[in-house]
Amino acid sequence: MNLALISHQTCMEHRMGAHHPECPERLHAIQDRLIASGMEMLVTHFDSPAATIDQLARVHDRAYIQSIMDAAPKTDDALTWIDGDTAMNRHSLEAALHSAGAAILGVDLVMGDRYHTAFCSVRPPGHHAGRAKASGFCIFNNVAIGAAHALEHHGLERVAIVDFDVHHGDGTEEIFAGDERILFCSSFQHPFYPGTGADSVAPNVVNLPMPRLTDGEAFKAKVEASWLPRLNAFAPQLIMVSAGFDGHVEDDMAHFNLREADFGWITREIHKLATKYCKERVVSCLEGGYTLSALGRCVSTHIDELIGHV
């Protein structure tokens, strides 16, 4: 089954200064690796539309959306900082709108018959963005906007969000805590940025804090004991993924010791669940991953498993 690979040119033009780790080269590294590995032949490319204000407003305050629009610089060399780690250049607003739009298009595609799985190769990432705040390189919460679209537009009643980025998905947690239509599973290094996630905030949030130097064996054991029973009991009608690869051993943004095979394993488990409960429907959105070579290899492995071999 073909996979929809969704991106947009503006995602390559959003830049937060010369030395910022969340850089356009990340998407180029993914593209280069997909070509080199032959995976490029197995995907169909889509340009993402811009998300509308109403689509964003399902998860963000309208005043916050307006503040982002107002903050967007109008000149080529201007950079506006909207958070200690997050800036906007002239293209960032469009990139953020098209990144959110990619998650929406991904949901629309997998709810149809031609594509079971979609990967949104987009930036800025989204999972730290809360209802009314930009944070940690994120402006709009792409995966949450996609999940809300699945609930409101497609009428789904159970959407699982699996977040295996090395950082806690605090924005996604804030948006959906207490909303029983969502099961949110987040694994992350703790204690670490952004410092949240150790406490259980709501029954529909399954946080997995793990110590530094966590390796594949420890990660698998925790996921098998905690997430998989909850995901099976939830029987999702769609699985969204916050796909962060910054837990890779070569990634110096954090201190996990995961490898490509471990990201392959968690993706395979997600795909198995989707095959069992929801016609393989998975929409995955890129989050972190900052060492370019490792990011390319991890995404190639992730897409290979999403395409599946069943």
The contact set with Zn ion (CB under 5 A) reads: 165, 167, 244, 246, 288
Q: Which is nearer to Zn ion, 163 or 280 (CB)?
A: 163
- Nearest distance, CB of residue 188 and Zn ion, angstroms: 8
Q: Which is nearer to Zn ion, 288 or 308 (CB)?
A: 288
d(CA 245, CA 224): 19
Q: Which is nearer to Zn ion, 116 or 167 (CB)?
A: 167
Q: Which is nearer to Zn ion, 216 or 288 (CB)?
A: 288
d(CA 127, CA 200): 18
Question: Is-contact 238 281, C-beta < 8 A?
Answer: yes
Q: Which is nearer to Zn ion, 87 or 138 (CB)?
A: 138
Question: Is-contact 244 137, C-beta < 8 A?
Answer: no
- Nearest distance, CB of residue 216 and Zn ion, angstroms: 18
- Nearest distance, CB of residue 3 and Zn ion, angstroms: 23
- Nearest distance, CB of residue 41 and Zn ion, angstroms: 30
**Cβ count within 10 A of residue 45:** 10
d(CA 74, CA 118): 33
Which of 292, 285, 310 minimizes the C-alpha distance to 100? 285
Angle 292-307/25-36 helices, nearest 10 degrees?
50
Pairing assessment for the beta strands 80-83 and 86-88 based on DSSP bridges = antiparallel
- Nearest distance, CB of residue 113 and Zn ion, angstroms: 34
**How open is the CA angle 153-159-165, to the nearest 5 degrees?**
120
* Shortest-Cβ-distance residue relative to Zn ion: 288
Q: Which is nearer to Zn ion, 192 or 227 (CB)?
A: 192
- Nearest distance, CB of residue 273 and Zn ion, angstroms: 23
Provide the β-strand partners of residue 81: 87
